[in-house]
Amino acid sequence: MVWRNYWRIPVPELWVDILEKVKAAGFNTVSFYSHWGYHSARDGHLDFESGSRNFTRLFDICKDIGLYVLFRPGPYVNAEASAGGFPGWLTTGAYGTLRNNDSRYTDAWTPFMSEISKIVADYQITRGGHVILYQIENEFGNQWRNVDLKTPNYPAIAYMELLKSNARANGIDVPLIHNNPNFRTKSWSKDYSNEGGNVDNYALDHYPSCWSCDLSECTGTNGNVPDFTTYDYYSNFQQVAPTQPSFLAEFQGGSYNPWQGPAGGCVNTTGPEWVNVFYRHNVEQKVTSMNVYMLFGGSNWGQIAFPTVGTSYDYSAPITESRTIGEKYHETKLFGQFLRVARDLTKVDRIANNTGLTSTPDIKTTELRNPDTNGAFYVTAHTLSPSRDKTSFKLSISTSAGNLTVPQYASDIVLNGRQSKIIVTDFTIGKQKLIYSTAEVLTVSVQDGVPVVLLWLPAGESGEFFLSGAQAGQVKKSEGASGVKFSPVDGGTVVSYTQLAGSAVIDFEGSKFVLVDRASAYKTWMPSTSNDPFTAENSTVIVQGPYLVRSAAIDGNVLTLTGDWTESIDLDIYAPMSIQKVVFNGKTIRVNRTRYGSLLGRFLSAASTASSIKSQLPPLTKWKVSDGLPERNGNYDDSRWTVANHTKTPNPTPPATYPVLYADEYDFHTGNILWRGRFSNSNATGVFLSVIGGTGSGWSAFLNGAFIGSWLGSTSVTRGEQQLSFANATLNSNTTNVLFIIQDHMGKDQTSGATNPRGIFNATLIGGGTFSSWKVAGKAGGGQNIDPIRGPYNEGGLHAERLGWHLPGFDDSAWENGTPQTSSSNAGVKFYRTVVPLDLPRGVDASLGFVFSSPAGSKVRVQLYVNGYMFAKYIPHIGNQVTFPVFPGILNYHGDNTIGLSVWSQTTAGASVSVDWTVIGAVESSLDVGFDSTYLRPGWSDRSEYY
Ligand code: GAL
């Protein structure tokens, strides 16, 4: 299992790409979070239609390609989303503290949850669809006030009951699940108590290597255990939910990257070896289902993110934000594809878990055995999971051919550092049994009734397998193995060998074995001709060679494949003997039958490379520029702005000064917020400002147009406080003065912090006088959602955003020429625009992005808009992200692209920012990224009412 969030890839045409990659990695189910705020810009308004808000296409694709669905609607989802997915309007405090049975909150979520349940209900397996599970709430492990004493927490129980009955009343009849945040909360399990709120399946979330790329964020929860420590889930499931499937509803697939995290993320802390050991460890723990968070993360585009993270949600996941795949994906695939064919694993007893089965105590083994078939799985790993030792050993196994110590002929089994192996016994393949194999099973694919068994080992290691009822085999292809030896034994033949780079093929009466090394296994694909998520062995073909195989279909003697490739490669295909013709992405591939029974073809066309694509991208040099912050000037006409005059607030954190200057209660929930405070007849010499914007936020202040100071921001401070002098400004002692503040809003906090305000907590004149009035501007139209396609999170209150300068079609002909490299020498905001045409080669999936740089010490806050979508927030003094991927569809690959750049210089040193294209990947592909996506990029229309 795996999951992704459709709202992090707001281009529905690309969903199929991700889902095909999920399927190709061997998964049978995919999980989606919804996002209430994404669908509800204001109370009483729901949108399940505009652009990517119509998510039912996901269900159709899943059904088409054979994936089940776990749907997780919320109402709270967390997910590193602003307010955990709660809409901004919900977070004012007017709906209470949230996530309880307060009727104000209940009335708020009921329409959303009812509607989403009704939509999903039609796609349930009970109605012919693929949705098999429904999760309510998220990491709400609040059933108990005291877990040990089982003291019920009634408001939380009542809330879960409300959510359950709402789902049921609106047609959800698949099992309900809930994901506990850790081992300690023990909530909502029927086996554990009869208290209310229980769901059908208890589940646990776990991030053994920290959910953040900044490992120090996890010391409080993961403790100070050594890196690469595995955990005991088995006891928890036995204690809390012994009769239920052991479900890891979130298991680490990577980590989010906070602002202070390393550029490019932290793929090394959860890299291929981590995948190898930790996923096998979950098998050892008798985990029944495991949902990888994330297999694909996506983008934190717009202002959808909560403050701690930037605009990337790459998550260091197996499928990158740019949709590319590499070693981590392939290692995940080895595991996923094995599980797909390890049919006996679906019902096992945990027989042993100790160091007694191996010839060394440095290796521990867990034996899992299917009571019906006697098929067993011996999960071997270093006794100390962080070990980097290379350890050789023999293993004692119990098989239908007797108790054996293996290997018997080959060199010992090796665990080379951070590695784990699952050694199967009595593994059924057709009419034969693999009595054991010390090499791991990659897959089994049945062709013309004959199982083709792929076994894999790191090159240089020795393997041994015992095939029941078999005579000596014939080595049909010898390049990939040395020392192949057939030893006749009672009941069959034992084959021992040393794996070399590449593959070797051995034919037996009734089966074919393909022995591959890890690198070849990474390039091996098992597409299915059926759309059954269980993917029967007789519905697959094996294709070795390309970057990706997405699909396979057989029609008569033609095998049609789709996929991606990056270079001239051989295709080695195991398919039925009747196949005479192979078509890959519409092109006929000349194939010959090999002596070892496969079809071998050669791609002759070399693909476009990243550098050839780069050379086709127009330079980003011709910019137009305009002042992006006229609001700072004393005479700016703010007559259309919202008067901020509340004298009391529902917010649980009341401000220090009044009126209330919390943006959410004036219907502004995202991005930059602009404030104008007036005062007159004052001898004030300065102002004390305390502004809440979340961690990493910043603000700048101006008096009558003159810059007086900034809070630059810090990744640990949510409220920036400064006392600023008016010495460098001109105070009008008789007429009105205007204090102008632009604040950056980084999103709203998660969990109980969702109601933390964004705005001015304290504005106090120093030296006399008080503010007579305040006005506020934010996103054009506030909750009116004037751009429903891009939606409520795309814009904030910047001048350029309010007037739509970021949108395609705005007329900038009257603007001056300029470049962001030689930008302002003042504090303030400049907005740049350029329009660049693209015409990229058809048939190439190019992943593009933008890369930023600025001189050391720059104090700038930069936002990038691509055809109106905010796709980058570059703040070099706060965060380390410099590369920002942008999806095709947001970019128009065959037409004009409007690029906007807002450069806010926070100091008088001014700003100089360089921005350029980067090509993150380019593969020849069946995926058409040149699709018509005009509907996703609505153009400018007059917005002067939001001036
Ligand atoms: C979990 C949560 C997810 C996500 C994850 C960290 O606790 O359920 O929504 O926030 O942590 O990436």
Written as one letter, the residue type at 476 is K
Ligand 1: which of 8, 178, 222, 250 to mutate, judged by most atoms within 8 Å of the beta carbon? 250
Q: Report which ligand 1 atom has the smallest distance to the Cα of 179.
A: 8
Structure tokens at 753: 């912090």
Q: Among 117, 187, 102, which Cα is nearest to 153's?
A: 187
Phi, psi dihedral angles at 74 (to 5 degrees): 110, -135
Structure tokens at 168: 């049921």
Q: What is the Å distance from ligand 1's center to 417 Cα? A: 30
- Between CA 117 and CA 115 the distance in angstroms is 5
Structure tokens at 324: 């590319």
Structure tokens at 456: 């894999």
Q: Report which ligand 1 atom has the smallest distance to the Cα of 33.
A: 9
Q: Which of 139, 273, 464, 795 is catalytic?
A: 139
Residue 431 CB neighbour total at 10 angstroms: 11
Q: What is the Å distance from ligand 1's center to 250 Cα? A: 8
pLDDT at residue number 606: 62
Strand-by-strand arrangement of the 349-354 sheet? 349-354, 363-369, 376-382, 421-429, 432-437, 462-468, 492-499, 481-489
Contact 426, 374 (CB under 8 A): yes
Closest residue by Cα to atom 9, ligand 1, is: 79
Residue 531 CB neighbour total at 10 angstroms: 16
Contact 140, 84 (CB under 8 A): no
pLDDT at residue number 1: 61
Whether omega before 407 lies within 30 degrees of 0, making that bond cis, reads yes
Contact 199, 134 (CB under 8 A): no
Q: Which of 20, 250, 284, 367 is catalytic?
A: 250
Ligand 1: which of 99, 142, 205, 313 to mutate, judged by most atoms within 8 Å of the beta carbon? 205
pTM for this model (two decimals) = 0.98
Q: What is the Å distance from ligand 1's center to 214 Cα? A: 15
Residue 499 CB neighbour total at 10 angstroms: 25
Closest residue by Cα to atom 3, ligand 1, is: 79
Q: What is the Å distance from ligand 1's center to 640 Cα? A: 40
From the number of C-beta atoms within 10 Å of its C-beta (0-12, 13-18, 19+), residue 588 rates as exposed
C-alpha separations of 288 from 31, 193, 248, 270 in Å: 16, 22, 8, 22
Ligand 1: which of 36, 138, 210, 248 to mutate, judged by most atoms within 8 Å of the beta carbon? 138
Q: What is the Å distance from ligand 1's center to 32 Cα? A: 13
Which class in CATH covers the domain with range 611-624+798-946?
Answer: mainly beta
- Between CA 792 and CA 47 the distance in angstroms is 11
Structure tokens at 88: 């901004």
Q: What is the Å distance from ligand 1's center to 127 Cα? A: 30
Closest residue by Cα to atom 5, ligand 1, is: 79
Contact 623, 817 (CB under 8 A): yes
- Between CA 765 and CA 689 the distance in angstroms is 9
Q: What is the Å distance from ligand 1's center to 139 Cα? A: 8
pLDDT at residue number 219: 84
Q: Report which ligand 1 atom has the smallest distance to the Cα of 181.
A: 7
- Between CA 708 and CA 33 the distance in angstroms is 44
Contact 652, 640 (CB under 8 A): no
Active site residue 49: no
- Where are the CATH 2.60.120.260 domain residues in the chain? 611-624+798-946, 630-777
Q: What is the Å distance from ligand 1's center to 206 Cα? A: 9
Closest residue by Cα to atom 4, ligand 1, is: 79
Structure tokens at 73: 């609607």
Q: What is the Å distance from ligand 1's center to 258 Cα? A: 13
End-to-end CA distance of the chain: 48
Q: What is the Å distance from ligand 1's center to 298 Cα? A: 14
Q: What is the Å distance from ligand 1's center to 582 Cα? A: 44
Q: Report which ligand 1 atom has the smallest distance to the Cα of 139.
A: 8
- Between CA 533 and CA 675 the distance in angstroms is 54
- Between CA 750 and CA 761 the distance in angstroms is 20
pLDDT at residue number 566: 87
Q: What is the Å distance from ligand 1's center to 138 Cα? A: 9
Exposure string for 63-75, b = 16+ CB within 10 A, e = fewer: bebbbbbbbbbbb
pLDDT at residue number 5: 84
DSSP code string of 852-878:
EE--TT--EEEEEEETTEEEEEE-TTT
pLDDT at residue number 569: 83
Closest residue by Cα to atom 12, ligand 1, is: 211
Structure tokens at 458: 């790191």
Contacts of 611 (CB under 8 A, 6+ apart): 919
Ligand 1: which of 72, 86, 139 to mutate, judged by most atoms within 8 Å of the beta carbon? 139
Ligand 1: which of 293, 313, 752 to mutate, judged by most atoms within 8 Å of the beta carbon? 293
- Maximal C-alpha separation, the chain: 107
Which amino acids bring their CB within 6 angstroms of ligand 1? 77-80, 138-139, 181, 205, 211, 250, 256, 293
From the number of C-beta atoms within 10 Å of its C-beta (0-12, 13-18, 19+), residue 235 rates as exposed
Q: Mean pLDDT of successive 10-residue segments in the chain (947 residues)?
A: 82 98 97 98 97 97 98 98 98 98 98 98 98 98 97 98 98 98 97 97 96 89 84 98 98 97 94 98 97 96 94 97 98 98 97 97 98 98 98 98 98 98 97 97 98 98 97 96 98 98 97 98 98 97 97 98 89 97 94 97 75 95 97 97 98 98 98 97 95 98 98 97 97 93 97 98 96 98 96 98 98 97 85 98 96 96 98 97 98 98 95 96 95 97 97
C-alpha atoms less than 13 angstroms from C-alpha of 52 in its C-beta half-sphere: 22
Active site residue 139: yes
Strand-by-strand arrangement of the 474-477 sheet? 440-447, 450-457, 511-517, 503-508, 474-477
Contact 165, 113 (CB under 8 A): no
Which class in CATH covers the domain with range 343-526?
Answer: mainly beta
What is residue 98's three-state secondary structure? coil
- Between CA 761 and CA 699 the distance in angstroms is 13
For 2-296, which CATH superfamily applies? Glycosidases (3.20.20.80)
Q: Report which ligand 1 atom has the smallest distance to the Cα of 77.
A: 9
Q: What is the Å distance from ligand 1's center to 196 Cα? A: 25
pLDDT at residue number 877: 97
- Between CA 873 and CA 670 the distance in angstroms is 13
Contact 77, 38 (CB under 8 A): no
Phi, psi dihedral angles at 414 (to 5 degrees): -125, 135
- Between CA 164 and CA 166 the distance in angstroms is 5
What CATH number has the domain spanning 630-777? 2.60.120.260
- Between CA 194 and CA 136 the distance in angstroms is 19
Residue 300 CB neighbour total at 10 angstroms: 27
